Structure 1
Amino acid sequence: MKKLQAIFEQRVLDKKDIVYLLSLDNETEQKLLFQKANELTGSVFGKGVFLRGIIEFSNVCMRDCHYCGIRVSNQTIQRYRMPVEEIVEIAVRIRTADIFTVVLQSGEDPAYTPEVIEKLIRDIKANADIAITLSVGETDRDTYLRWRKAGADRFLLKFETSNPELYTRLHPDCDFDERWRCLKDIRETGYQLGSGFMTGLPGQTVDMLADDLLALAGLEPDMAGIGPFISHPQTPLHNAAGGDPLMTLKVLAVARLLLKDTYLPTTTALETLEHNSRIRGLTSGANVIMPNFTPLKYKQHYEIYPNKAGTRSDVGDILQTIREQIRAAGKHIESGYGHSVRKRFKGSKG
């Protein structure tokens, strides 16, 4: 217990401290870790929880990542692409629901050219006073800049693992250095940056998770998504064990210790593994939830992992469940855009 308190009092955590925290197996000490993370969240953000409405507008992807159900090699799923007009209509609906951010997420789909994405951004901004987060994968610096100038506010690109060997095994057609080049370009072209990684990947160790957390802290992200790996039956990792909810919560809590002013979601993947774990996430450092506004006819096919929470639920039911979970965590929904509170963005709407 004394060692735990000593770590809490340190201004900077090193890798040894992080490994110690992730290895806590005493329930009382785990609760102290979660409590500390919750206190830090409250000291910066209060009890407010920000909602970001997701639209999964295409499940077509040219990548072949070994953990992902929408990988190009999966011939069993029904592919779809949403028209720009329909995406804009749903973005307007999100804003009407008093949610101030839309997250536009897809596979790396070449049909959505830089021109199409630019039009999508401009059309949304013309029809709704809403912040836009893009989550559409890797591209070149000029394209990131183009979309930023069109009005995109944020970009989410997870590095998934900071270990080059593990990254290469999981992403046979991707390049580790290229992923980090993209993250650098996203930052330098003026976006609020979101990144993150998975817990419980096959071959991942606690030592690697500590490295992931340090790599994440080094990025100084404005938002960080951390969720458990869940195996998909149509991938090479179909027999692999899934991530552990408790370990994911510990990683989330340590992320809060390292990143005091970063938005941290409690993820759908965590809720999928363990019902009502959103509540535990909100009391362990998280302050963001991302309700899914993708129409039912599409979202059952956006199967990155199976049995995703809310896949067969109407958005009204999803929002009602989220409201109840937020209240159960002793918190409330925060209005406003939820732009970065980090120093470089203070006073900016973009």
Structure 2
Amino acid sequence: MNRKDILDALLDESGQETLFEKADRVRRDQVGDTAQLRGVVHFSNYCRCNDIYCGLLKDNDQCKRFRMTEDQIVETALSIAEAGLKTVVLQSGEDPHFTRSTICSIVERIMGKADVAVTLSLGQRSREDYAAFRSAGAERYLMKHETMNSDLYSRMRSGLKLVDRLRLIDTLRELGFQVGVGNIVGLPGQTPEDLCEDILFFQDFQPDMINIGPFIPHAQTPLKDDPAGDMDLMLRTFALTRIVTGNSHIAAANTVATLDPDNGQFKALTKGGANVVMPNCNPFLKSKTDKIEYEFQITTHKRYVSVDEARNVLARAGRTENHTKGHSLKLQGATL
């Protein structure tokens, strides 16, 4: 699609049902009627960044911080495998406490005991770190680009540069990762033209995975009084992304469930072309003697979907659970 077609569709509220029907047809043709469940371990909410939209920002002195131990992370990941999920997503704030060697050890221990794919979502690291993670067995890396408006990006991320983020995304692909990117719909100051550029980026880059979510204000950030993103605009962004990327895996994130607890993920699956749900698996931590109290609040009152709830939403949407590792359909020879 060209820029005008995308922008017209983003702005056309009256024609969105036709757009949703097209996205669902593309989803069915390209990725089928199965959907992936990918279990997320939120293992640290310490962060060196000051992203003003994120409750984990370094300057938030009201945030109750936590870190799992290496053993706790591995234990939780193995519980995900026991629950029948074939992908483990290890996610944290940008926490330098977890060194290259520690992350490699965690990945190797998980893969040595469970037949799963490991996705990392750890933010910006060195090329050497990424190469080591890949050698340790991690096959996927999720690093949302957030917005393709470089000025907006720097405002939201306290002076950081979009060009550096995009360079690292290219590095991940060069190193052989299946690469996930994604944006935030409804950032304060964002325009429909900005969203159009995000979709054009998806079309050009053809990511293996995509994570689209709405902006939801957090009470302990500078953006606490700004309005949340619009559900219909977000769904149109989902739908256009499915149309221009074909067989990319697209996740209905937990923030989607936060924006609309009853139907958000259901709508993303049935109208937006999503085919992945990523349930929160921290409650799988079983060690009674060292339970942790954790809070991974990127947004206020974030809705965390359990594995059972994720399976229920798949059933509501008429999808069956895909029990493969769900590798990228962009890979030569990949099957549904």
TM-score for both structures, normalised by structure 2: 0.94
Match of residue 278 from structure 2: 290
Aligned residue number for residue 231 of structure 2: 245
1:343 deviates by: 3.7
- State the identity %: 38
Question: Please, which moves more after superposition, 255-264 or 211-220?
Answer: 211-220
Which residue does the alignment assign to 2:186? 200
Query: Is 1:216 aligned to 2:210, yes or no?
Result: no
Distance 2:202 2:251 in 1: 14
Counterpart-to-counterpart distance in 2, 1:174 and 1:114 = 22
Aligned to 1:42: 28
Partner of 2:329: 341
Aligned counterpart for 2:314 among listed residues 323, 326, 329: 326
Task: Tell me the SS of whatever aligns to 2:42.
Answer: strand
Residue pair 1:49, 1:333 contacting (<8 A) in 2 also:
yes
The answer as to whether partners of 2:269 and 2:275 remain within 8 angstroms in 1 is: yes
Letter in 1 for 2:302: K
Change in CA separation of 1:173 and 1:122 when aligned onto 2, cut-off 3 Å: farther
Corresponding residue for residue 244 of structure 2? 258
Q: CA deviation at 1:122?
A: 0.7
Aligned to 1:4: none
Q: Which residue of 1 aligns with 2:264?
A: 277
Q: CA–CA distance in 1 between the matches of 2:10 and 2:165?
A: 26
Q: Which runs of structure 2 are paired with 1:1-350 in the superposition (5 Å)?
A: 13-26=1-14, 29-274=15-260, 275-284=262-271, 285-295=273-283, 300-310=294-304, 318-344=306-332, 346=333
Once the two structures are TM-superposed, the CA of residue 320 in structure 1 deviates from its matched residue by 2.5
Q: Which runs of 5+ in 1 are unaligned?
A: 1-12, 312-317
Cα distance in structure 2, aligned partners of 1:328 and 1:310: 18
Q: Displacement, 1:298?
A: 5.3
Residues 50, 57 of structure 2: 8 Å contact kept:
yes
Deviations 1:172-192 (A, max 9, x none): 142222111110110100000
Matched residue of 1:265: which SS?
A: strand
How far does residue 319 in structure 1 lie from its aligned partner after superposition?
A: 2.4
* 1:325 partner letter: V
Structure 2: any 5+ residue segments left out of the alignment?
Answer: 286-290
- Structure 1 distance, partners of 2:292, 2:124, is 23
Deviation at 1:90, TM superposition (A): 0.9
CA distance in 1, matches of 2:334, 2:269: 27
What SS does the aligned partner of 2:251 have?
Answer: coil
Confirm or deny: 8 A CA contact 1:63 1:173 kept in the other structure.
no
1:54/1:291 contact within 8 Å kept: yes
Q: CA deviation at 1:299?
A: 7.0
Q: Distance in 2 between matches of 1:261 and 1:46?
A: 9
State the distance in 1 between where 2:109 and 2:322 align: 26
- Is 69-78 or 274-283 further displaced after alignment? 274-283
TM-score, reference length from structure 1? 0.90
CA contact (8 A) 1:56 1:299 kept: no
CA distance in 2, matches of 1:123, 1:217: 36
Q: Is the 8 A contact 2:182 2:211 kept in 1?
A: yes
The CA distance in 2 between the partners of 1:130 and 1:283, in whole Å, is 27
| 8 Å Cα contact 1:228/1:242 also seen in 2 | yes
Instruction: Give the SS at the match of 1:264.
Output: strand
- Residue by residue over 1:87-129, the C-alpha shift from the partner in whole angstroms, topping out at 9 and shown as x without a partner, is 1111111111110000000001010011111111111111111
Structure 2 CA distance, aligned partners of 1:173 and 1:120?
32
Give the number of aligned pairs. Answer: 327
For 1:305 and 1:34, the matched residues in 2 are separated by 27
Partners in 2 of 1:166 and 1:215 — Cα distance? 16
Give the conservation status (yes or no) of the 8 Å contact 1:64–1:173: no
Q: What's the CA shift for 1:216?
A: 2.2
Q: Deviations over 1:45-92 (max 9, x none)?
A: 211010000000000000000100010000001111101111111111
Q: What per-residue deviation string (whole Å, max 9, x for no partner) do you get for residues 151-204 of structure 1?
A: 001000011000110001111142222111110110100000000100000000
Find the aligned partners of 2:74 and 2:294 in 1 and give their Cα distance.
20
Displacement, 1:287? 0.3
